[in-house]
Amino acid sequence: MITSCAFEFEEYLQVVQSFHGYAAPGVIIGGFMVNLGKGHLSEKTPFRAICETTVCLPDAIQLLTRCTIGNNRLKILNFGRFALSLYDQNRGNGFRVFLDPKRIDEWSEIKCWFFKLKPKAEQNMELLMAQIKKAGETLCDIHPVQVRPGLLKKEERGEIVICPCCHEAYPAEERGVCRGCQGESPYTVTVLPERHVEASET
Amino acid sequence: MITSCAFEFEEYLQVVQSFHGYAAPGVIIGGFMVNLGKGHLSEKTPFRAICETTVCLPDAIQLLTRCTIGNNRLKILNFGRFALSLYDQNRGNGFRVFLDPKRIDEWSEIKCWFFKLKPKAEQNMELLMAQIKKAGETLCDIHPVQVRPGLLKKEERGEIVICPCCHEAYPAEERGVCRGCQGESPYTVTVLPERHVEASET
């Protein structure tokens, strides 16, 4: 029986559906990739993850390891490659797993999906999922890697201060005002809370 | 009873523990923030999320909404501000929730934790969690926002091609070789799979 880590295949589909919103092929294949990588590490190795794409794969890593965006154990370096690395958080040695285009070649519907050879509406989802389930980790290749020392350093978070502009807390190292107030805000209209309006009027 | 969205407080602690690795105060407070934001949107509104920090808060969003890194419904803009926005994915109107330094002021242990006034080992975790549970969403403030039109555009993913250097698939728009092979690799040693060595020898 092919499984994605701790889950049976069908169970993993449900977990993905619940977290990711739907059983996306990339998260399903990602399950096999995480599984393959974890299998190469000693069970006791405290590890972290690098993901080389923002698409789908980060969710497989977050669901099947203790590496998440919010706990800083998962780093996304968006090279647009469907690849991930799991590595010893102290020594930096680990394994990189990637989806191998040559191995995909044998699977018609996976190839169509991955290389976007047909519009989404014309893809056969049932066949695609059947092929993914059958192919499993044979779609991937794995090789050892050594992560650069700079990436292993623990990020020290410095002093927290109040931004004189928005009155929110931000890292002092930014100096002056926070980055949001430096013009990088994603919002066109920001209605400040009444409290702030009052504060500026006094 | 104070709850974090669909979960009771204690249940949410367990969900956070399982996903994030431990019941981090930032993810717990984040639960109240997501709750507050969601409560301001109509239940039928298809929404997306912006998170203004990489620390803890993205995990609360991922656990309590259908917005994840891997499905591209959660964007992280790292301003170092403990704030998030939930907004209509079509119109861009929504609400921004932030942790209000003035409101934290009333809670001794939350203040110590948030502003790092004491080393972690000296913080009183039990008191901190009790204060978070009691304070809940009263720690936050909320205001309407309008997200810039550029952020609402659907990102079209273009053609996928094979990198002549690593033989992996990457977005054609990068041109030449993939970004990993352009010198941005996080690895010092990359042992290529045998298959590639063979390929280069032929």
Q: What is the pLDDT of residues A59-72, one digit of tens each?
A: 999 999 999 999 99
pLDDT at A133 over 90: yes
For chain A, percent of residues with pLDDT exceeding 90: 74
Of A191-200, B61-70, B90-99, least confident by mean pLDDT is A191-200
Q: Output the pTM of the full model.
A: 0.90
Contacts of residues B104-108 at CB distance under 8 Å and 24 or more positions apart, as own/partner, are B104/B139, B106/B135, B107/B131, B107/B135, B107/B139
For chain B, percent of residues with pLDDT exceeding 90: 74
With an 8 Å Cβ cutoff, is A89 touching chain B?
no
At B193, the pLDDT band (50, 70, 90 cuts) reads low
pLDDT at B50 over 70: yes
Rounded-to-integer distance, Cα B169 and Cα B162, Å: 4
What average pLDDT does this structure show over A40-55?
96
With an 8 Å Cβ cutoff, is B98 touching chain A?
yes
What average pLDDT does this structure show over B56-76?
97
Residues of chain A in contact with residue B86, where contact means CB-CB under 8 angstroms, are none
Residue type, A139: L
pLDDT at A5 over 90: no
**pLDDT of res. A155:** 76
**pLDDT of res. A42:** 95
What average pLDDT does this structure show over B8-17?
94
At B44, the pLDDT band (50, 70, 90 cuts) reads very high
**Which domains are seen in chain B, by residue range?**
3-151 (3.30.1330.130), 160-201 (3.30.60.80)
**pLDDT of res. B183:** 83
> Do residues B81 and A181 lie in contact, with contact meaning Cβ atoms separated by under 8 Å?
no
Backbone phi and psi for residue A145, each to the nearest 5 degrees, phi listed first: -140, 160
- Which of B77, B148, B193 minimises the CB distance to A143? B193
With an 8 Å Cβ cutoff, is B154 touching chain A?
no
Helix, strand, or coil (residue A150):
helix
pLDDT at B52 over 60: yes
CB contact under 8 A, A83 and B168: yes
**pLDDT of res. B191:** 59
What average pLDDT does this structure show over A146-167?
89
pLDDT at B131 over 80: yes
Of A3-17, A90-104, A188-202, B10-24, least confident by mean pLDDT is A188-202
- Which of B70, B81, B162 minimises the CB distance to A56? B70
pLDDT tens string B161-173 = 999 999 999 998 8
CB contact under 8 A, A143 and B66: no
CB contact under 8 A, B160 and A57: no
**A149–chain B nearest CA distance, Å:** 9
With an 8 Å Cβ cutoff, is A18 touching chain B?
no
CB contact under 8 A, B170 and A79: yes
**pLDDT of res. A2:** 41
| Three-class HEC string of chain B | CCEECCEEHHHHHHHHHHHHCCCCHHHHHHHHHHHHHHHCCCCCCCEEEEECCCCCHHHHHHHHCCCCCCCCCEEECCCCCCEEEEEECCCCEEEEEEECHHHHCCCHHHHHHHCCCCCHHHCCHHHHHHHHHHHHHHHEEEEEEEECHHHCCCCCCCCEEECCCCCCEEEHHHCCCCCHHHHHCCEEEECCCHHHHHHHHC
**pLDDT of res. A174:** 79
Residues of chain A in contact with residue B165, where contact means CB-CB under 8 angstroms, are none
**pLDDT of res. B189:** 66
pLDDT tens string A12-47 = 999 999 999 999 999 999 999 999 999 999 999 999
pLDDT tens string A157-184 = 788 999 999 999 999 887 789 988 888 8
**pLDDT of res. B200:** 40
At A136, the pLDDT band (50, 70, 90 cuts) reads very high
pLDDT at B11 over 90: yes
